Structure 1
Amino acid sequence: MAKLNLKSMKKSTKDHIITFAMVIVVYIIVQTMITTGNMSSLMQGLLVPMCTYSIVAIGLNLCVGYLGELSIGHAGFMCVGAFSSAFCTKLLQDSIQNEVILFLIAIAVGTVAAAFFGFLIGIPVLRLRGDYLAIVTLAFGEIIKNVINVLYIAKDENGFHFAISDGNKIELSEDGIWLINGAKGIAKIPHLSSFTAGVIMILVILFIVYNFVNSRTGRAVMAIRDNRIAAESVGINITKFKLMAFTISAAIAGAGGVLYAHNLSTVTATPTNFGYNMSIMILVFVVLGGMGSFRGSIIAAVILTLLPEVLRGLKDYRMLIYSIVLIVMMLFNWAPKCIEMRQRIAAKFKKSAKKEAA
C-alpha cells in the first residue's frame, strides 16, 4: 500500500513539474519572439487576456473539477476583483509612485474582495446542489454587474460622494475625480498588467492550488465530491470544506479580474465583459481542458482565445470553423473511443521507449 501511495505521489509531482515547465517554456518562447520582432502587435495584445482567462479557468476548475459543484457565476467574482482593485488603484495612484507596489496592493484588494463575496454567497448557496447552485451563482453574477452599473462614486477636496442611479446628483469641484461612473465604469486606470505579471500570477496560483488539492483539506474536498454521504459518515465537515474550496475558487477569479482591469484604460460592467457569456466561456475552457486538470484549463484557455483571431481572415466562416474545432476537441478529449485510441498510442510509445532504453 505504501508503495502504491509513493508511486501515485511521484506521478502527481511529475505532473505538476510538467505544468510549471510548460508555462515557463512558453513564456521564454513568447518573450524571445517579442524581442526579435516575430510577433505581431495583435498577438501581443492577446497575451494578457490569455493569462487572465487561464487564471479564472484554474479557479473555476477548482470548484467544478475538485469540489464537484457547477458554478456559472465566476464572471461575477471576476467583476468584483476588477472593480475593487481598479477603485483602489485610482485612489492610491497619486500617493504610491512605485507601479509594482501599487499592482501588488491591487491584487491583494481584488483577491480579498472576491474571496469575501465568495464566502458570503457560499454560506447559503452551497446548501444547494446541481442546477440550483448553478442558477443562484448565475443570478449573483448578474446582480453584481447591475449594481455596479447604477453606482456613482466620486472624490474631491470635500471627500467622497455617493449616488445611486443618478450621477447628476453629484456636484464635483474642478479637482474632483470620478472613481465609479455608473455604466461608464472606471476610466483612466493605470496600465499595470503585463504578460510577465500574468505568467508570475499563473505560477503562484498553480503552486497554491496544487498544494491545496494535495493537502488533507483537498483530499476531504474530493471525498465530498466522490461520495457526500460516505464523507459525512467519517466525520468530514461538509459545509466547512465546501465553503473553503468555493472561497479560494472565487479569490482566484478575483485575481484574474485584477489582471483584466489593469490591462484596459476603462473597465465597464457590460454583458460583454462580465456577463453570462463570459461565465459560459470560462466553463467551456474547464470542460474542454478536462475537469480536474489545471494544465488542461490553461491549454484550452490559450487555444480558444487565440483561435478566433487566427481565423479572423476567414470572415463569415470564422465562427463556423471555431465551432467545428470546439466539437472536434471535445470529442477527442471525452469520447470513449478517442480515449481508448490515445491510451493505445501512449502504450506503444512507452513500449518503444523501454526497448530503446534496454
Structure 2
Amino acid sequence: MTATTSEPGGGAPPDEGPNPGGAARRGRGLADPIRDWWDGLSRPAQWGVGVPVVLILALLPVIHPPLISTTAIDFGAVMAQVAMYALIAIGLNVVVGQTGLLDLGYVGFYAVGAYTVAILTSPSSPLFNGGSHGLFSNTGAWAWLACLPLAMLFTAISGLILGTPTLRLRGDYLAIVTLGFGEIVRLSAENLTDITNGSPGLDQLAFPPIGKSASNNYAGVLSNGNHSSTANFGVWWYWLGMILVIAVLLVVGNLERSRVGRAWVAIRDDEDAAEIMGVPTFRFKLWAFVIGAGIGGLSGALYAGQVQYVDPLNFNVINSMLFLCAVVLGGQGNKLGVIVGAFLIVYLPARVQGIQVGGQSLGDYKYLFFGISLVVLMIFRPQGLFPARQKLIAFGRQVYRGLAPGGTR
C-alpha cells in the first residue's frame, strides 16, 4: 500500500477521479508552478540551479538591493534574525506540521538553548563564574562553538522529559501542557537566581571573534566589532545561520523521506488508524518532540551568540505565538514554506520600521497586522501560503511523476 501525504483542503491525490489532478489544481499553492518546474529537473540540474540561488541569497545583505534593503534597521542584522527564525520554524514544523502535535510552548526549548550558552560562558554566571574560572575557561574564543552541541543536547533532553509523560495527550490538552512548559521555563529563569542570575539576565556571552585585529576591531567571521567593511557582524551571523539552516534541512528532509517521516505523516493524518496499522505512535511522536527541541536549542544558542545577552523577558508566550505564526503562515508541513513564513515575520516589521503613522512606527503594530493576517488566512487559505503538496513518499518522485496529469503510467 503506497503511503501519501495529505493536507486539509489540499485537494485529492493526482490519480483520483475522472479528471486526474483536477482537485489538486484547484487547491494549488502560490509556489506550485515553480515547484512543478523544479520537480521536472534532474538532480544535477537542481543542484545547478539551487547553488547559485543560495549564493544570491547569501549576498543580499552585502549588495543591499534598494527595493529590498531595510533603512531604519541594518539589513545584515535583519537577515541574521531571519536565519535564526528560519531554524525555529523548521524545528517547530517537525512537531506541528509534520507530526500534527500542537505545541504552544516551543519558546521554552529556545530559552533552554540560549541559557545553556549564557550560563556556561557569561562572566556574570553564578553557577560557573563565567569564562574566568568556569567550565569553558580554556576554550577562549571557541566557547560558543563548544556550547553549541551542549545546547542541542540539553534541549533534546528537556523535550524527552516533557514528552514522555505528556505525549499521550492530544489536541487542546497537549497544547495547554506545552504552553505551561514554556511559562515554567520563563519563570524558572526569572526565579532561579543561583543558576540564571534572575531578572538582570546574563551578559557578555561568548562568540567566536575570528580575525580580530591588533586595534581590537574585528575584520573576520562572526564579529561584533566596529569596522567599515560591508560584511558587518550581522552579515557574518547570517551566513552562519544559512549554513545551519541548510544542514538542518538536509537532516529533516532525509528523516521525512524515511520510515520516521512516513510514521509522522500517518500520525498527523489519523493517529488512531496509524496505531491500528501497527505504527508505534508514541515512540515516533517522542522522536518528533526530541528532534524539534534540539533544533530549537540550536536556534537559542544562535540567538545568544548574536545578542550576547539573555534575560527571561525575551522568552515570553508572545514570542511562542510568533513562532507558530511563521509555521501557519508559511504552510504547515512544507519546510521551505515555513522559512518563507519566518522571513515575513521578521522582515516585514523591519521594512516598515521607519514609516511613521500618527507619530507611531508601523513596525510597532506587527502583532496587530499578523493577527489580522492569520484570521484572513484561516478563512480563505487555511493550508497556508505554501501548503505541503500531496505526494507519494514511499517510492519517490518517479512514481509521483508517472501518476501526475500527462505523465507516463
Between 1:20-29 and 1:209-218, the stretch displaced more is 20-29
TM-score by length of 1: 0.75
Q: Deviations over 1:125-177 (max 9, x none)?
A: 11111111111111011111111112234xxxxxxxx6xxxxxxxxxxxxxxx
Aligned residue in 2 for 1:27: 58
Deviation at 1:13, TM superposition (A): 9.3
Q: Residues 14, 72 of structure 1: CA spacing in aligned structure 2 closer, same or farther, 3 A cutoff?
A: farther
Aligned residue in 2 for 1:282: 323
- The count of aligned residue pairs is 307
Aligned residue in 2 for 1:75: 107
What 5-or-longer segments of structure 1 have no aligned partner? Answer: 154-161, 163-179, 343-358
Q: 1:54 aligns with which of 66, 86, 97?
A: 86
SS at match of 1:262: helix
Deviation at 1:298, TM superposition (A): 1.2
Equivalent-residue separation in structure 2 for 1:183 and 1:29 (angstroms): 37
SS at match of 2:193: strand
Equivalent-residue separation in structure 2 for 1:50 and 1:144 (angstroms): 24
Equivalent-residue separation in structure 2 for 1:237 and 1:211 (angstroms): 20
Are 2:144 and 1:103 aligned? yes
Q: 1:88 aligns with which of 104, 120, 144?
A: 120
SS at match of 2:199: helix
Aligned residue in 2 for 1:172: none
Are 2:342 and 1:310 aligned? no
Deviation at 1:337, TM superposition (A): 11
SS at match of 1:183: coil
Task: State the identity as a percent.
Answer: 31
- Cα RMSD after superposing both structures: 3.6
1:138-177 map, 5 Å: 138-153=179-194
Pick the structure with more helix per residue: 1
Q: Is the 8 Å Cα contact of residues 97 and 333 (structure 2) preserved in structure 1? A: yes
Deviation at 1:328, TM superposition (A): 5.3
1:172-211 map, 5 Å: 180-192=196-208, 194-211=237-254
Q: Residues 310, 206 of structure 1: CA spacing in aligned structure 2 closer, same or farther, 3 A cutoff?
A: same
Equivalent-residue separation in structure 2 for 1:276 and 1:295 (angstroms): 25
Between 1:83-92 and 1:20-29, the stretch displaced more is 20-29
Equivalent-residue separation in structure 1 for 2:331 and 2:292 (angstroms): 17
Letter in 1 for 2:161: L
Q: 2:305 aligns with which of 246, 262, 275?
A: 262
Q: Deviations over 1:228-268 (max 9, x none)?
A: 12211221111101100111011111110000111113210
What 5-or-longer segments of structure 2 have no aligned partner? Answer: 6-13, 15-34, 123-133, 209-221, 223-236, 388-409
Letter in 2 for 1:133: L
Q: Deviations over 1:71-100 (max 9, x none)?
A: 01010000001001222234355311343x
